[in-house]
Amino acid sequence: MIKIEHLTKVYKGNITALHDVSLEIGTGMFGLVGPNGAGKTTLMRIIAGLLHWTAGRVEVNGYDIHTLKGKQAAKALLGYLPQELGLYPHLTGAEFLDYVAILKGVTHRQQRQHQVQAVLEKVHLTEVAERRLKTYSGGMKRRIGIAQALIGNPQLIIVDEPTAGLDPEERVRLRNLFSELAENATVILSTHIIEDISQSCHDLAIMYNGAVLFRGAPTELIQKTRGQVWNIVTDGQRPNHGLNVVSMLQLAQGTQYRVIGDAAAFPNAIPTEPSLEDGYIHLMSQTRDRGVV
Amino acid sequence: MSTTLYQLRGMIWYELKMHWRRRALKVMMLALFVLIVITSLLQHTEDFEKNVYEPVKDETGLSDAELNTWFTIFSTWFVGAATLGFILPIGIADTIPLDRQSGVSELFHSFPVTRGTYVLGKVMGVWAAVLWGNFVLMVITGVLWWFFLGSYQPLPYISMWVLGLGALTVLNGGLGVLLGATQPNRLRAVLLTIGVMFILPNFLGLDANTNATNSLWDFMSPLRWPIFAYYTRVNQSGALADAIVTAVVGIGELIMIGIVMWCWLRWKEQH
């Protein structure tokens, strides 16, 4: 369980990255979405004990991570995959994971070997485990990053853009892996791929300009957009009038636009079931229009 | 074994492996080996035998084995001390900034490893890697000398590697990593180490061409002049004691820098 109360982070130069954020995150998959610069990475780095904050309080499984003792205790429960992952290119995949296991305090050699093998299988890297990391492709490096986050059976897993650069099949498999892990752990998933959130998270927060704009289940966000999403097929001009065009599809009879907004006035507009992505875009455009935050 | 000791042991093992898989240490050790061989080949000429070996033998009454021992130490020490005392700290100054620049430190600091353990592990990893290289070179060159010169006393030769060059490795190698750790990037780490290793000693009045004056700075200076003098001057009275004092002061210096670093890192961890 993570408890964040009135968290504020101001960087040098008076840049506010987080402003009065309060969140409680329990066991299960928790999605964190928002545009670049929204404060997602800052929030995750604070929870991971990598960054100090300006005001507020953060507790991880009851440990106050403001204190050094609490921070160390919380880190022992943590599996973290940063957005920009650095690896030791001269170690093999298996050696790197063994090294991580030692640093995470898995002291028993056999237990360590067993864990390394298990995570390598989970991320489909067993066959290349003895190859040096400098020979790995971008996707393989991302998977070894996920593997190291899983070492030591963490109770809190924080993953920043874990599926970036992976092929669709691998993405789905890893998404399912996180869902499995979330049965007994808290998994915080930050991503720009809304589909990953909609397919795996029961709870999410949308951030914008350092604040939480929305907190709840994906279905709630979808519900808020119901009646606002339309399909319009036209061979003429692109529909405007304050509509947000989400997608365009070239068809034989013209172009099909998926739009968000009040399109009832368009003669050939057909109401459509909204997706989580529609909900996100609707919320963001409303926020920008209102000049909120 | 406590978790911290276990983490340190793991760091030493993997740092040793990584240093030997990278190019820098291999190149440095190979260069040291080649330099030792070239130096000895250049020195051990007929002229040298006639003008140096024979007069020294006549004057001191040293046996062939004793004279050979002096020659092995003399030939190895200069290049060894220059490489391990000055090139090594510059070569390994970027150990911690490299982690920072490549993004590994972000991952490292998410593990339950304190920053103090991290820096200590890095320093000890460098020591282990270089001392292992020293050991291999000592054996190879030791055997080569035997074939090249004939019999000599192995104990003083080993003691020069272990105590003399070993001390330079530990003191200046440790200094290089610790100085580099304070810098945000590799270039600044290297520049700072060059400054401390070369510019500071000259600025404070002692360089390799001057004699030690037994001031505290002589013992603290990264030139480690008394150790250097002990292996380059035969039968100099008090030289061994000065060399030992230098090594002890050097270790104290490292501990002091280590404590300052630890306090700074702890402060950084909390703020």
Query: Angle CA(A188)–CA(A189)–CA(A190) in degrees, nearest 5?
Result: 120
Beta carbons within 10 angstroms of residue A201's beta carbon: 26
Per-residue pLDDT tens digits for B250-268:
888 888 888 888 887 777 6
Rounded Cα distance, A257 and A248, in Å: 5
Rounded Cα distance, B64 and B48, in Å: 15
Rounded Cα distance, B126 and B141, in Å: 22
B89 half-sphere exposure, CB direction, 13 A CA radius: 28
B94 Cβ contact partners less than 8 Å away, ≥ 6 residues apart: B180, B186, B189, B190
Interface test with A, best of B9, B17, B26, B107 (most A CBs within 10 A): B107
pLDDT at position A291 over 70: no
User: Nearest residue on chain A to B20, judged by CA atoms?
Assistant: A90
**DSSP-assigned letter for residue A132:** B
Whole-prediction pTM value? 0.87
Per-residue pLDDT tens digits for B129-180:
999 999 999 999 999 888 888 888 999 899 899 988 999 999 999 999 999 9
- For residue B89, CA distances in Å to B187, B197, B200, B203 come to 14, 8, 15, 19
A chain contacts of residue B108, beta-carbon cutoff 8 Å: 103
Rounded Cα distance, A79 and B219, in Å: 47
The pair of three-digit structure tokens given for residue B139, joined into one six-digit string = 């054996």
The predicted pLDDT at position A293 comes to: 46
Rounded Cα distance, B91 and A35, in Å: 42
Are the C-beta atoms of A35 and A176 separated by less than 8 Å?
A: no
Locate tokens 């990053």: which residue?
A: A145
Question: Average pLDDT, whole number, for chain B?
Answer: 85
Burial class (CB in 10 A: 0-12, 13-18, 19+), A5: middle
* B270·A68 Cβ contact <8 A: yes
pLDDT at position B182 over 70: yes
Per-residue pLDDT tens digits for A268-281:
888 899 999 999 99
The predicted pLDDT at position B14 comes to: 97
* B3·A107 Cβ contact <8 A: yes
Q: Which helix (H) or strand (E) holds A211?
A: strand A211-216
The predicted pLDDT at position B214 comes to: 57
